[in-house]
A and B are shown apart, each in its own frame.
Chain A
Amino acid sequence: MKIHIPMIFRNFRFNEINQNDDYYDDHGLDYHVSKICTDNLHPFFKTVKAIFRESGGRFKVAVSISGSTLKLLQKTAPQTILMLSELVQEGCIEFLSEPWSHSIIAFSNSETLLRQTNQHDELIHAVFGKVPEVLIIHSPICPEKVWRTVQQGEGKGVFMYSNHIERSKKAKGTKDRPAISNVGIHPVHRTLSQEFQKLVLGTDIQLLKNFTSGILQNMKNDSSPTNCLVLVYDLAVFTKPFNKNTAFLLKATINELLADECFQFCFPSETKTCLNTVFSDTISNNDTDHFLLPVDSWLKNELQKRTYAVQLSVQKRIQSCCNTALHKKWDLIQDMDNLYFMNSDFFSEDYYMDNYCPYTSPYMAFTNYMNILDDLAGRVEN
């Protein structure tokens, strides 16, 4: 289960650069958080708890929650934190490690990644009393030498998206998938959340059967007896509520998996000890290309590339800055969703139907975010 809520900026105008460092739309953010909690997180948590109990504890869920989101929920939705704590006590969820910020910048160098993951893990420990053992990488860019620092230095397992492997293969110019042994890397799929949103069940039972068996078949195509598949349910990207229909679909799919002897649900920490295996060619084939995370969502058009370049330049400058308040600000505003909101898909009004974006167009997203980056860069300079 992935929980990340991007910080919503207010309209930060060019004439406020170097004048005002209050970037947030507090009212809008409160409303957005409250809506996500009520419409998606709470009903999802309840469903997870119900399936866990009905399965006699065989259903297990890993939770990926960014540090910035956890802080946000602590401040504006404490009820959600309580519900998560209950799930921890019940024994049906385990937290994943990740950088504090849901950003690409967090992977710009080993030092930043270590600092941010430690900061994240400390907060998870402080709130839930658990220390995550496996790092999940959501960033579309994560240089190997950077994530290896965490994997080797901290002894953590690592989950990353299949396209990282694909990209690595392309970069090396090899035809075969690279064999990465004993590194604890497992592909991540974001099937469930995307598929569930599209399906309107109605009363057609055959449709449900086709849907669940389709997911199962795809997973079988993807797996070998010893490897691990990670299904990502991305709650915060939903524009539609998690309703009874989605809960029913989720239950049916999970029950199908539970009934199949080929599959077993594991916590991330369990996969770390038992599944450090060689990557095989069966992990991702042509049939499952649609499962891949679209990396282009963040860094395809010129606006995104320029913004990322400015982010890198701010990161470079801020590293030598000892003002902790600026660091805190920077950790909050470097979110890669700011790049996602500049995605060219948002030029089409139809795309807004299924995807959340606080701006009316990528041009407005770019203008507002660049004003904020310019302001922060100016403060770092000063």
Chain B
Amino acid sequence: MFGWEFPPNITGGLGTACLGITKALSAYPDLELTFVVPKVYGDEPANGMKLIGANEIDLITSKINVEKLCGPFTYLSITSGLVPYLDPEEFKKICTGHETTKTTTTEDISPVSIEFTGKYGPDLMTEIHNFSIIAEYIAKQGDYDVIHAHDWLTFPAGILAKGITGKPLVVHVHATDFDRSGGSVNPTVFKMEKAGMEAADAVITVSNFTAQRVQYDYSIDPSKIFTVHNGAIPLQISNPQKLPPHKKKHTVSFLGRVSVQKGPEFFVEVAQKVLSKMDNVEFVMAGSGDMLGRVKKKVVQLGLTKKFRFPGFICGNDVEQLMNRTDVYIMPSISEPFGIAPLEAMQYKVPVIISKQSGVSEVVQHAIKLDFWDTDAMADAVYSILKRPALKGMMKEKGSDEVRNISWEKSANKIARIYNMFAGNKILMG
């Protein structure tokens, strides 16, 4: 299995999904899993699988033809503003002024291993290429039954691995460039996505919404597309913050990348409409991204500065703290292949409003589902949840009950069945 990131070193939902899938798949005794990422940090959970960092492969003993690798090698570390899923061009723009780079070329040293950042830096294409070379080598070393590649970053790796081993390739589409870019597709990324899907024996999509996109926008044969919805990892809500039962201020939250895909400007519009009728509400936009500046500017222009908080990118305990004080969570995404965050909010017993243009809307009933552009309806729903305890109470209880049944085990079961289609039913199904 090839992935680009793995918790806790993640910047988005891809890593979380990979954790959920591998953890649930590792429960199958007949299934041996090897997960390859560009870089291993050492703090990843064991998870019952073999985790390999491409950066750990010794180029000398492996006898990988270094001429195949792209140079100069660029060691990049991003100090802030990490944004997952952006195309390389876009990322270059964002990274300006925020990065510290150290560049070494092959002329300076003979590399023993390749130093991957495993991130989404300006040399992303170089890293993708180099990762695919290492992946090809790793695939050749073992006797694997199926090759599984997560998202376009690892599709070239999957294609090469398939080529060298002749084993079936499963590509897993967590998002497409249509979703990430809001329609302004990067031709290079599109080409890589399409090549991966075409080379694959099976294409797994995280929702029917994405399956449609793969079929129509990438012209992929629908008979090899399989929808496997994401699940939710049960949260260890260890230290619930005790909030006063009748806190004076209501909190409405947005948690995610502040980019066009996530519809942050619609969140501001909703806030404006709610605040025209209610005063005791604060709106929290947690996350960072290329649109953050524009959103802040809009908030200032609308005179809502005192009602808004921008804590930036948060994770871990900060998320828990925010959720504990949140009365309504909104995900107004323009195009969301799945969207795991609302499931997490539901686990915290937070009523959620989600865009109909999301994969998660296919698996939850106890959320309010609206068109991302319908900010009147969204504001109406926020008002109703804040003002009417019967609605809020029912959404909290039913939502948290519902999300317990949306598990990664179910997703893994479907994935295992897909593997079995190509691996001669080697995996014993429960």
Are the chains A and B members of one assembly? yes
Q: Which residues of A contact B (CB under 8 A)?
A: 11, 13-15, 301-303, 305-306, 347-348, 360-361, 363-364, 366-367, 370-371
Do B381 and A367 touch (CB < 8 A)?
yes
| B344-384 interface (Cβ within 8 A of A) | 365-366, 368-369, 376-377, 379-381, 383-384
Of the listed stretches B86-94, B258-266, B389-397, B409-417, name the one at the interface; the rest are far from the partner chain: B389-397
Nearest chain B CB to A249 CB, angstrom units: 34
| Majority secondary structure, A binding face | helix
Contact of B395 among A305, A360, A363 (CB under 8 A): A363
Contact of A303 among B368, B379, B391 (CB under 8 A): B391
Q: Which residues of B contact A (CB under 8 A)?
A: 273, 276-277, 365-366, 368-369, 376-377, 379-381, 383-384, 387-388, 390-391, 393-395
Do B377 and A348 touch (CB < 8 A)?
no
User: Given A301-B394, A303-B390, A303-B391, are A13 and B376 also a contact pair (CB < 8 Å)?
Assistant: yes
Chain B residues whose CB sits within 8 angstroms of the CB of A306 once the complex forms: 388, 390
User: Given A363-B368, A370-B384, are A11 and B377 also a contact pair (CB < 8 Å)?
Assistant: yes
Cα A306 to Cα B277 with chains together (Å) = 23
Chain A residues whose CB sits within 8 angstroms of the CB of B379 once the complex forms: 13-15
Cα A15 to Cα B382 with chains together (Å) = 12
Contact of B380 among A303, A305, A347, A371 (CB under 8 A): A371
Which chain B residue lies CB-closest to A344?
B398
Which chain A residue lies CB-closest to B395?
A363
Do A370 and B377 touch (CB < 8 A)?
no
> What are some 19 contacts across the A-B interface (CB < 8 A)?
A11-B376, A11-B380, A13-B377, A13-B379, A14-B277, A14-B379, A14-B384, A15-B277, A302-B394, A347-B366, A348-B365, A360-B369, A361-B365, A361-B369, A363-B391, A366-B388, A366-B391, A367-B380, A371-B380
Do A302 and B393 touch (CB < 8 A)?
yes
Do B394 and A367 touch (CB < 8 A)?
no
Which chain A residue lies CB-closest to B276?
A15
Cα A245 to Cα B12 with chains together (Å) = 55
Which chain B residue lies CB-closest to A347?
B365
Cα A303 to Cα B393 with chains together (Å) = 9
Chain A residues whose CB sits within 8 angstroms of the CB of B390 once the complex forms: 302-303, 305-306, 366
Cα A303 to Cα B392 with chains together (Å) = 10
- By Cβ-Cβ distance, the 7 closest A-B pairs, closest first, are A306-B390, A367-B384, A347-B365, A14-B383, A302-B394, A302-B390, A13-B380
| Extra inter-chain contacts (13) besides given A303-B391, A303-B394, A306-B390, CB under 8 Å | A13-B380, A14-B379, A14-B380, A14-B384, A14-B387, A301-B394, A303-B390, A305-B390, A347-B366, A361-B368, A363-B394, A366-B388, A371-B380
Contact of A367 among B273, B369, B391, B393 (CB under 8 A): B391
Nearest chain A CB to B402 CB, angstrom units: 9
Cα A305 to Cα B388 with chains together (Å) = 13
Cα A364 to Cα B383 with chains together (Å) = 12
Which chain B residue lies CB-closest to A307?
B390
Nearest chain B CB to A309 CB, angstrom units: 9
Interface centre among B277, B384, B393 (most CB of A within 10 A): B384
Which chain A residue lies CB-closest to B273?
A15
Chain A residues whose CB sits within 8 angstroms of the CB of B273 once the complex forms: 15
Contact of A363 among B276, B376, B381, B393 (CB under 8 A): B381
Chain B residues whose CB sits within 8 angstroms of the CB of A347 once the complex forms: 365-366
Cα A290 to Cα B381 with chains together (Å) = 37
Cα A366 to Cα B388 with chains together (Å) = 10
Chain A residues whose CB sits within 8 angstroms of the CB of B395 once the complex forms: 363
Nearest chain B CB to A358 CB, angstrom units: 14
Nearest chain A CB to B206 CB, angstrom units: 19
Which chain A residue lies CB-closest to B393?
A302
Interface centre among B273, B365, B369, B379 (most CB of A within 10 A): B365
Nearest chain B CB to A211 CB, angstrom units: 34
Which chain A residue lies CB-closest to B402?
A347
Nearest chain B CB to A296 CB, angstrom units: 16
Cα A13 to Cα B273 with chains together (Å) = 11
Cα A14 to Cα B391 with chains together (Å) = 15
Chain B residues whose CB sits within 8 angstroms of the CB of A363 once the complex forms: 368, 381, 391, 394-395
Cα A360 to Cα B381 with chains together (Å) = 13
Cα A371 to Cα B394 with chains together (Å) = 18
Cα A305 to Cα B390 with chains together (Å) = 9
Cα A301 to Cα B391 with chains together (Å) = 10
